Amino acid sequence: MLTKNLANFLYETASMQRWNDHIRVDGFTELDKQAHKAMILYVLARHEEDEGVKINWRVLVEGLIFEYIHRSFLTDIKPPVFHELARECGKELNAWVYLQVGERVPDLNAEFKNRMEHWFDNTDNQLEKRLVKAAHYLATQWEFAIIYRLNIDRYGIETTKHEIESELLNYADLAGVRQITFKSPTKNFIDLIGQLRYQKRWAQSQRMPSTSVLGHSLIVAMFGYFCNLQRGMDDTATLEDFWRGLFHDLPEVLTRDIVSPIKKNVAGLDEVLGRVEVKLINEKILPLIPQNWHKDMLRLTQGFKKGSVMKGCDDLAAYMEVKVSEDCGITSRYMQEGGRALKNQYKDKVIDGIDFGQFFV
């Protein structure tokens, strides 16, 4: 179930910087990397299905979240060191992570925690694990292409480049990896998604941490997953909400963010914007993915119904962006007004059995 402890914990990766021993531009947080990885994972899994391979999508999504939690504790370890530690004392390292999870999120769903331990400590679900790992390295490679240009004369940069390329060779048998590696339209789709790293939430305000549209989307997806776990929803509904949460803001890569005050106060804007988004998706995004995915992608990018659990998760993520920044001593009139409006909207509010009021305090 989604609790305050869990919501705060899931958000912590927004403050974790990647490539912090390299010259880099803004947009390299662990949250953004994990969100890009999640979208890449969807692409890889769909390509495998197109090849006739059967995917356990529930295991795939949970595996992604398990790895997210795992990396939340270990992300500062340099990759070569991490891989060596994993080879030499992987079970002990995992046991330490489980202990930290128990202390940091003591109210984490027990069955979920057991499945997480099973994911790391057993050898089943190899296809799903390989897909998650491949998505991990592809997201890393996307970041490194930028890092490489900024650090081209830096000692050791060629070694890092070789290590990433070598790791990806282990997944060259996956259809999606081949598509992305050979610069197909799928590669362009992955690049387009990556641009959401640079589109900041609450763009008219300074915030700490500064989060992107991309990272926000993964937070919404995970909030929705844990709400559906609490509600006992079936796999179909749970997976639909997760991927819809992940892709719901994808149209913003084409429109950029239109802030809530404009949406709420300009009559008819929502309807016009909806038509514009569908038109742009058809023109700019759908040509980059296989035709048999088009219907699903259109559905996943249509946003949420007002008053739904997923709309509550979207608003909760926005509220946390305000509150976490305020806790760091950084706020603005826009954030104060937005936070106050959300707090009033969700006071004592329960949606389909989920007590959202407890979060908006």
Nearest CA-CA partner of 144 in 23, 324, 289? 23
CA dihedral over 62, 39, 137, 143, signed as positive or negative = negative
Look up residue 106 and give its amino acid.
P
> What pLDDT is attached to residue 259?
56
Q: What is the CATH number of the domain that holds 36?
A: 1.10.3210.10
Asked if 272 and 301 touch (Cβ cutoff 8 Å), the reply is no
The two structure tokens encoding residue 122: 């057993």
Q: Is residue 243 part of a domain?
A: no
Distance of CA 217 to the CA centre of its chain: 6
CA–CA dist 24, 296 (Å, integer): 35
Q: Is residue 154 part of a domain?
A: yes
> What pLDDT is attached to residue 274?
76
The two structure tokens encoding residue 240: 């639909």
Nearest CA-CA partner of 281 in 300, 265, 267? 300
> What pLDDT is attached to residue 80?
75
Q: Is residue 115 part of a domain?
A: yes
Residue corresponding to tokens 């892709």: 247
Element (H, E) at 350: strand 350-351
Report how many domains make up the chain.
Answer: 1
pLDDT tens, position by position, for the chain (361 residues)?
899 999 999 999 999 999 988 998 876 999 999 999 999 999 999 999 999 999 999 999 999 999 999 999 987 777 778 778 888 888 999 999 999 999 999 999 999 999 999 999 999 999 999 999 999 999 999 999 999 999 999 999 999 999 999 999 999 999 999 999 887 899 999 999 999 999 999 988 889 999 999 999 999 999 999 999 999 999 999 999 999 999 999 999 988 666 565 555 555 667 777 788 889 999 999 999 999 999 999 999 988 998 999 999 999 999 999 999 999 999 999 899 999 999 999 999 999 999 999 999 9
CA–CA dist 323, 105 (Å, integer): 19
Helix residue ranges, H only, 170-231: 175-181, 185-194, 213-231
Q: Is residue 307 part of a domain?
A: no
CA–CA dist 321, 10 (Å, integer): 12
> Could you tell me the residue range of the domain that residue 83 belongs to?
1-185
> What pLDDT is attached to residue 138?
97
The two structure tokens encoding residue 254: 């084409």
Q: Dmax of the chain from CA atoms? A: 62
Percent helix, percent strand, percent coil in the chain, to nearest 5: 70, 0, 25
> What pLDDT is attached to residue 266?
58
Distance of CA 9 to the CA centre of its chain: 14
Q: Structure pTM?
A: 0.94
Residue corresponding to tokens 């796999």: 235
Residue corresponding to tokens 């749970």: 238
> What pLDDT is attached to residue 309?
98
Cβ neighbours of residue 57 closer than 8 Å, sequence gap 6 or more: 45, 235, 239
> What pLDDT is attached to residue 26?
75
Q: Is residue 85 part of a domain?
A: yes
CA–CA dist 195, 142 (Å, integer): 11
Q: Is residue 135 part of a domain?
A: yes
Nearest CA-CA partner of 247 in 181, 192, 210? 192
Look up residue 252 and give its DSSP letter: H
Q: Is residue 38 part of a domain?
A: yes
Q: Phi-psi category of 26—alpha, beta or left, where left has phi over 0 and alpha has psi -120 to 50?
A: beta
> What pLDDT is attached to residue 143?
95
Q: Is residue 236 part of a domain?
A: no
SS3 label, residue 355: strand
